[in-house]
Amino acid sequence: MIDKELVKKRFSKSLDTYEDNAFVQREMGAKLISLLEKKEFNTIFEIGCASGLLTKQIKENLKYNSLTANDIVADAKSYVENIATEFICEDIEKITFDKKYDLIISNACLQWCNDINSTINKLLFALNDNGILAFTLFGEDNLKEIKNLFNFQNKVCVSAKIFKEETIKLYFDTPLDVLRHIKLTGVNAVQEHKFTKSTLKEFEENYKNLYSENGKVYLTYNPIYLIIKKNDIV
């Protein structure tokens, strides 16, 4: 089970540092928008807007009449209130939609759902006819170096057809830089981990031994892109 309180805590702490460190997520957002066949929508709903990385890309690249931004973290509101028409603070798994949208979009968020498949069904129901659900999330190989060393699983099972999947490696000077990157982007929201001096040293040594290339250490990202048209599935 995803600890939603931990998700809130991690992401509210990283709102200020997220965009300067979320290199992969920025590319994912741009690619997601480029994959949309249509660029004009009446109403758009964005899930998990955080500091507005995708929200700004939507503003720059899409035409719309209204844009509703959502996040489970209340502080996200102040980051998007100048861009979005309205902000709804709610867990997307708990939200009840009182209207329908033409585009529901989300970047790097839905992997934090406990039940992704019923969330997708709910989102499809919240689309107007011919509406589009477009989102990215991370697959099983995401941050696999960290998962291996800390021995935790974060399985995401999506029964919808995957549109596109990628593996991206980011390179860092040291394992400590990897940890810093993870902290600044908030993507360490799955599990709390406290190091002692000796476990930190052990982590650094293991990371260097297992995940080095050309004098650098790497961290894997595994983005998945899904675009579902409402008419494709009904």
Ligand X SMILES: C[S@@+](CC[C@H](N)C(=O)[O-])C[C@H]1O[C@@H](n2cnc3c(N)ncnc32)[C@H](O)[C@@H]1O
* Backbone phi, psi, residue 34, to 5°: -65, -25
For 88, residues 6+ apart whose C-beta sits below 8 A from its C-beta are: 68, 69, 70, 95
Shortest Å, Cβ 214 to ligand X: 28
Task: Name the strand (E) or helix (H) holding 134.
Answer: strand 127-138
Shortest Å, Cβ 159 to ligand X: 19
Instruction: Single out the residue of 24, 33, 53, 179 in contact with ligand X (rule: CB under 6 A).
Output: 53
| 72 belongs to the binding site for ligand X (CB under 6 A) | yes
The Cβ of residue 161 has, within 10 Å, a number of other Cβ atoms equal to: 10
Q: Which stretch binds ligand X (CB under 6 A): 43-51, 194-202, 208-216, 217-225?
A: 43-51
| 48 belongs to the binding site for ligand X (CB under 6 A) | yes
Shortest Å, Cβ 187 to ligand X: 6
Whole-Å CA distances, 48 to 84, 130, 136, 185, 219:
13, 23, 11, 14, 23
Whole-Å CA distances, 164 to 39, 56, 73, 121, 209:
19, 23, 29, 20, 31
| SS3 category, 137 | strand
The Cβ of residue 195 has, within 10 Å, a number of other Cβ atoms equal to: 12
- DSSP lists the bridge partners of residue 103 as 44, 132
> Which of 87, 203 has the CB closer to ligand X?
87
> Which of 11, 45 has the CB closer to ligand X?
11
| 91 belongs to the binding site for ligand X (CB under 6 A) | yes
Q: Which stretch binds ligand X (CB under 6 A): 65-73, 140-148, 151-159, 191-199?
A: 65-73
Shortest Å, Cβ 60 to ligand X: 13
Provide the mask over 97-136, with x wherever binding to ligand X is found by CB under 6 A and - wherever it is not: ----------xxx--xx-----------------------
Angle 7-13-17 (CA atoms, 0-180°, nearest 5)?
115
DSSP strand pairing (168-172 vs 216-221): antiparallel
Q: How big is the site for ligand X, counted in residues (CB under 6 A)? A: 24
> Which of 56, 216 has the CB closer to ligand X?
56
> Which of 8, 216 has the CB closer to ligand X?
8
> Which of 69, 203 has the CB closer to ligand X?
69
Residue 2 near residue 72, CB atoms below 8 Å = no
Residues at the interface with ligand X (CB under 6 A): 7, 11, 22, 25, 29, 47-50, 53-54, 70-73, 76, 91-93, 107-109, 112-113
